[in-house]
Amino acid sequence: MCRRRSLPSFRAPGLAPADCGIFYFARILRASHNTISMKIVLAYSGGLDTSVIVKWLKETYDAEIVTFAADIGQEEELKGLPQKARKTGASKHYTLDLVEEFARDFIYPMIRANAVYEGQYYLGTSIARPLIAKAQIEIAKKEKADTVAHGATGKGNDQCRFELTYMALAPSLQILAPWKIDSFREEFPGRAEMIAYCQKHRIPVEASLKKPYSMDRNLLHISYEAGILEDPWFDPTARGNREMFKLSVSPEDAPNKAEEVELEFVKGDCVAVNGKKLSPAGVLRVLNKLGGKHGIGRVDLVENRFVGMKSRGVYETPGGTILMQAHRQIESLTLDREVQHLRDSLIPKYAELVYYGFWFAPEREALQALVDESQKYVSGTVRLKLYKGNIITTGRKSKYSLYDPHIASMEGVKSWYNQSDATGFIRLNGLRLRARNIAQGGPKV
């Protein structure tokens, strides 16, 4: 039986007083001293957290709940979601096919920027959240809902990614985040309680007490965290734990024979694999299979979350890892040195913006404009060899290549480069070093 909550005029449903800042004020003003009938659109994956949340919201609030799932390449994880959502309390469910939009408008722009967070993380979960939140807002407008909800925890990065997107695109919508509500956390202090809740209400979930870890999958990657992975010394690659991985074989179990693959780029975007023209999503699907077959793209790292803590994540990004290396190689042939160095100096900032959730922020848009301008001549073909977790570059070519074999040759080939010019070039660059030594004694050695 639902427990109706009377909501005072200064507090939005489910929000602690500390949450009631200017961000929520537009909706808070509409509250009355009577019970408010809410219509909530919940970002719903069917995983452990959102499976619990849809039921909990229905039991806790006098609200109509509409669930929304974004198809961004989860594949089998989407099966049965409408039935499961309705069974646990939703009045309606939407599943939107966003796979091509995800690849074309989110993954590819990020690849053009070579964005990698803290040198290791390919941002697979990070880049998906702004798209999911954007589509969720569109559903909320269609359904005339006044509230959006998500299942991100109050400790992670996803809460920032979802809510910053809501703020950027639909600031009048009210936000409900159960993990930031005291009563929710009291009822579910850990994953064991959530699993027990699902068992009690016969809600099927893949997580179990035996292997309680969280998994998030999309076209670009799968991430694993929490539970048994919270110990940074725990080895998920050990023989007994290998069934956790879904996109790739262990490098030890990969084929003993290397496989070559050719990727064709146009203006920084991969458009063909082994001579076959493909859409952005098609490219990633093919590369995921190839990379997974050869044990490519596994990453295990302790990263710095936006909210301040460190966390351990394990990732599989087979196709994205191949794509990133190939993109780097075609850039090495076609990008001007100073343009490349300028763009590379901005990679940490760009990656940070994606990781933190500022995809729809003006500074990310400004950086994207610079990145895209740099890609005008990043076209050509790269040949790679895949072997037991390794990606080996074996060739690259482009009609826009800045590499001149006549200039670079050490074999006495004539060109318009005059080696004698190097004497003055080095002398001028060394002028300040000589002056320092004469006046100040030079560096300590």
Write out the catalytic residue numbers: 49, 129, 158, 214
The sign of the dihedral angle between the CA atoms of 254, 260, 265, 268 is: positive
Residues 436, 441, 443, 445, Cα dihedral to 10°: 160
What is the β-pairing status of strands 147-149 and 174-176?
A: parallel
Q: How many Å apart are CA 245 and CA 241, to the nearest integer?
A: 8
Q: Which residue in 276, 301, 304, 300 sits closest to 290, CA to CA?
A: 276
Q: Which residue in 181, 162, 180, 170 sits closest to 145, CA to CA?
A: 170
